Amino acid sequence: MAAKATQAAKAAAGKAVKAAQAAKAARATGTARAVTGAVGAADYDAIVVGGGHNGLVAAAYLARSGARTLVLEARQKTGGAATTEAPWPDAPDFRVTRLSYVMSLMPPTIIRDLRLEKHGYKIFPMGPYYQAFPEGGSIKLYADDAKRNHDEISRWSKKDADAMPRWDAWLAGLAEVLGPLLLTVPPNLGSRKPRDLAETLRLAWRQRGLDVRTIADVTRLMTMSIADLLDDWFSSPQVKGALAVNGVIGTWAGPYEPGTAYVMAHHSIGDVGDGHLGNWGFQEGGMGAVADAIAGAARENGVEIRTGAKVAKLLLSGGRASGVILENGQQITAKVVVTSLHPRTAFLDHVGRQNLPDDFVADIEHWKTRSGVVKINLALAELPDFTADPGTNLAEHHTGSVEMAPTMPYIERAFQDAREGRPATRPFSDGVIPTAFDTTLCPEGYHIMSLFTQWVPSDWSEEPHTEELQAYADRMIDCYNEVAPNFKSSILHADVVGPYEMEHDYGLVGGNIFHGELSLEQLFHMRPAPGFADYRTPVPGLYYASSATHAGGGVCGIPGMQAARAAIADRRAALRGPAQAVRRARHR
């Protein structure tokens, strides 16, 4: 069967080469991006490859527009990196949110359109950021309580306490500029085609209210390291350590690397332009319940979801996407295909280099996709009893981020270890205890703790490194034990997920948590490749909905929504006629 599938794929690919070259030539001469109508009697109107949250969002939107839609997911369950699982066979009542762990950037539009709350979307807002220091003392920072922040920070630096409201206001102002850009389809910057220039000018016009200072601040944010930026504002190591964490989450870069200031801002946006986002929060039932809510909405709209259905190749017909071939050889046809996989898988493996423009292939080959993240999920017999804030009864400091990132040099050292090829001796951790609110994840009286930790060497995605990962996790636990001496003995079960498992079991190539780094050269009009940041691809009829597109990563659903919108707009334009199609392909 597999051999047959390969032959079929080769034949389809062969036929497609000429058509793809023609499409490429058409692009080069600026005539049109091919948008055609039906491809005869297809099995479905739309196939979505990958049942992660973005694939499910795309499917739900496509089905809402009336398309008969099929989702194909390789794993036995949907959700991708938004997954709740029971990793311990001897303790099936303990469930963990195995990879992603907190919500923040899901736009109100998606929550409303898909009626996610009806399908179980329920967020508990997180408590404060909390760091207990190995040398004694602790700090709490609140998302929305300036008075308490002032009191907390004053214990470390009066000057920093006074600076904090100005910093918050500065950041809020910049987030107002950057937030709406997340819902903007990036224009094809640099193109001189009239329609692309028009899109670029439209974007520039929308920014006309920005003054010299704001542009300067945005420039700083986009180019500086989080360490340099915080040095301009604060002096105490404790405050700088606390504010640095968001600059390096999921990033193959320490806090002194340029670009990390933007990563911090990405995690601080409160409004993407369609209403205020919730603060960071825990989904009841873990992040898998977010994916389940979207799957529920998709099914309600008529989407068919198949799990255990691994896609091996894209089917091409006349240079156009016309379906997929599964690993078991089955061919399924559709008028439109949306893929939500990592770009290397989606384009190099499924479409094939021979069917893509050379410069696009080079861009995807050069795509940076490292993280060095290790997720450690723990079942606890009791809550951490911090020396600085004693007690195992639930207290405010258990309800938010329970960090191990005491200072900037501490975080930097962890990165330097990994860059030099060793797992961090003292890793940093963004910890959370969702069971401070969510009683559905484990039996009463127990807790689940999730540690998002960094770094191990980026090439650990190539080998399991099982024993070294265990030793790394033990060191991480020791770090917490220094500030909460009951921690180690409270651990009933531990689940350690490293880059190899992320790549091989979840499709996160290179172990990058966002399908690709959020580095400056991979943002906005460059995500995933210049000329293709509008959720379309070099293959007509193939749309791209992964976290490797603009507004990804994170569990925000924006790539899924935008890819579906692009497919729907092109399809409607095609039905209206070829001239209209050419215009609409670029003017959504």
Binding site for ligand FAD (CB under 6 A): 49-55, 72-75, 80-82, 99-102, 310-311, 340-341, 345, 373, 375, 452, 502, 506-508, 513-515, 546-547, 552-555
Nearer to ligand FAD, 338 or 585 (CB): 338
Closest separation between CB of residue 367 and ligand FAD, Å? Answer: 14
Q: Which is nearer to ligand FAD, 341 or 573 (CB)?
A: 341
Specify the residue, 434 or 531, whose C-beta has the smaller distance to ligand FAD. 434
* Angle 433-436-439 from CA coordinates, rounded to 5°: 110
Closest to 49 measured CA to CA, from 66, 36, 37, 62: 62
CB of 137 to ligand FAD, least distance (A): 27
Task: List CB contacts of 298: < 8 A, sequence separation 6 or more.
Answer: 56, 59, 60, 63, 69, 71, 114, 305
Nearer to ligand FAD, 228 or 468 (CB): 468
Cβ distance to ligand FAD smaller for residue 24 or 465: 465
Do strands 428-432 and 447-454 pair parallel, antiparallel, or not at all (unpaired)?
antiparallel
Q: How far is the CB of 84 from ligand FAD (least distance, A)?
A: 12
Q: Tally the C-alpha atoms within 13 A of residue 255's C-alpha that lie toward its C-beta.
A: 26
Nearer to ligand FAD, 74 or 224 (CB): 74
Nearer to ligand FAD, 64 or 375 (CB): 375
Q: Tokens standing for 118?
A: 């009806």
Residue number with CB closer to ligand FAD (259 or 553): 553
Tell me if 343 sits within 8 A of 533, measured CB to CB. Answer: no
Contact 484, 132 (CB under 8 A): yes
Angle, vertex CA 454, rays to CA 264 and CA 440, nearest 5? 85
Query: Sign (positive/negative) of CA torsion 421, 424, 429, 435?
Result: positive
**How does strand 138-141 pair with strand 129-132?**
antiparallel
Q: How far is the CB of 134 from ligand FAD (least distance, A)?
A: 25
CA distance 458 to 250: 12
Nearest approach, Cβ of residue 277 and ligand FAD (Å): 11
Q: How far is the CB of 28 from ligand FAD (least distance, A)?
A: 30
Q: How far is the CB of 349 from ligand FAD (least distance, A)?
A: 8
Nearest-approach distance from CB 553 to ligand FAD, in angstroms: 3
What residue ranges in 175-329 does DSSP mark as E strands? 281-283, 304-306, 311-317, 320-326
CA distances from 431 to 131, 283, 511 (A): 10, 16, 19
Closest separation between CB of residue 91 and ligand FAD, Å?
21
**Closer Cβ to ligand FAD, 188 or 283, answer by number:** 283
3-state DSSP of 171-203: HHHHHHHHHHHCCCCCCCCCCCCHHHHHHHHHH
Secondary structure (DSSP) of 487-523:
HHHHEEEEEEE-HHHHHHHH--TTB-TTSS---GGGS
Q: Whose Cβ is closer to ligand FAD: residue 51's or residue 357's? A: 51
Q: Which is nearer to ligand FAD, 477 or 561 (CB)?
A: 561
Rg (CA), the chain: 24
Nearer Cβ to ligand FAD (259/559)? 559
Closer of 187 and 559 to ligand FAD (Cβ): 559
For 277, which DSSP code?
P
| Cβ 381 to ligand FAD shortest distance, Å | 24
Q: How far is the CB of 395 from ligand FAD (least distance, A)?
A: 23
34 vs 74 by CB, closer to ligand FAD: 74
12 phi, psi to nearest 5 deg: -60, -40
- CB of residue 264 to ligand FAD, shortest distance in Å: 15
Report the C-alpha gap between 456 and 84 in whole angstroms: 24
Question: CA neighbours within 13 Å on the CB side: how many for 185?
Answer: 21
Bridge-based pairing state of the strands 123-125 and 281-283: antiparallel
Residue 291 main-chain phi, psi, to 5 deg: -60, -40
State the minimum distance, in angstroms, from the CB of residue 175 to ligand FAD. Answer: 16
For residues 468 and 342, the answer to whether their CB atoms sit within 8 Å is no
| Smallest distance, ligand FAD to C-beta of residue 211, A | 32
d(CA 370, CA 372): 6
CA–CA–CA angle 177, 429, 248 (5° rounding): 35
Give the closest residue to 462 by CA, choosing from 421, 415, 430, 409.
421
